[in-house]
């Protein structure tokens, strides 16, 4: 078995590259943990009476999901009991769908089994004139600013997605009554 030229280069610099990879993983994990803590704190302070959330922050970084559903005790339409909406963050550790490995993707997501929900959410979002659709994707540069600025920007985007989804739910309830 022969090594390619890039394989020889990698092996010649193996220790340096392994150390650098560990440093980058700690950096990305730190961003994910910090922004998710900010978002959790903010959403707990808001504590609206319609939605509840749970956060999944993967160990090692690269993936954060805030899963949002209707509160069981909230006034809602029967069809809304099963609604699920998630705000998802993925960086180069967990996705290859990036134009640049210095970026992260943030987007809204609903399981395909709930496509009627997605149709309703998109229809209401357009009707109330949201600037960004709840399922649109946003990319964020992870190295173009200080870590604090990056963390704050990602947290702001997550809270924006949550607030927009809450507005859609509120409007859907008005339409249903």
Task: Give residue-wise pLDDT tens across range 51-89.
Answer: 999 999 998 789 999 999 998 888 777 778 889 999 999
For 12-54, the pLDDT digits (tens) are 999 988 899 899 999 999 999 999 999 999 999 988 889 999 9
Residue 7 lies in a domain: no
Residue 155 lies in a domain: yes
Give the residue among 93, 80, 77 at the shortest CA–CA distance from 21.
93
Residue 102 lies in a domain: yes
174 — pLDDT class (breaks 50, 70, 90): confident
Residue 98 lies in a domain: yes
pLDDT on residue 78: 72
Number of domain units in the chain: 1
Residue 153 lies in a domain: yes
pLDDT on residue 141: 95
Angle between the 115-127 and 147-176 helix axes, to the nearest 10 degrees? 90
Higher pLDDT, 142 or 48: 142
Phi-psi region of 36 (alpha: psi -120 to 50; beta: other; left: phi over 0): alpha
What is the pTM assigned to this prediction? 0.89
Residue 125 pLDDT exceeds 70: yes
Residue 177 pLDDT exceeds 70: no
Q: In terms of residue numbers, what domain contains 43?
A: 28-176
């Amino acid at each position: 078995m022969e090594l390619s030229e890039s394989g020889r280069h990698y092996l010649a610099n193996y220790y340096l590259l392994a150390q650098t990879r560990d440093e980058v993983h700690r950096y990305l994990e730190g961003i994910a943990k910090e922004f998710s803590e900010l978002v959790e704190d903010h959403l707990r302070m808001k504590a609206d009476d319609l939605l509840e959330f749970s956060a999944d922050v993967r160990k090692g970084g690269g993936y954060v999901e805030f899963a949002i559903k209707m509160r069981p005790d909230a006034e809602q339409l029967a069809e809304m009991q099963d609604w699920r909406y998630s705000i998802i963050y993925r960086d180069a550790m967990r996705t290859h769908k990036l134009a640049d490995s210095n970026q992260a993707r943030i987007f809204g997501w609903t399981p395909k089994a709930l496509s009627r929900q997605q149709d309703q959410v998109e229809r209401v979002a357009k009707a109330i004139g949201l600037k960004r659709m709840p399922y649109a994707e946003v990319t964020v540069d992870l190295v173009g600013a200080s870590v604090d600025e990056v963390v704050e920007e990602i947290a702001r985007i997550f809270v924006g997605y949550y607030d927009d989804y809450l507005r859609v739910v509120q409007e859907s309830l008005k339409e249903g009554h």
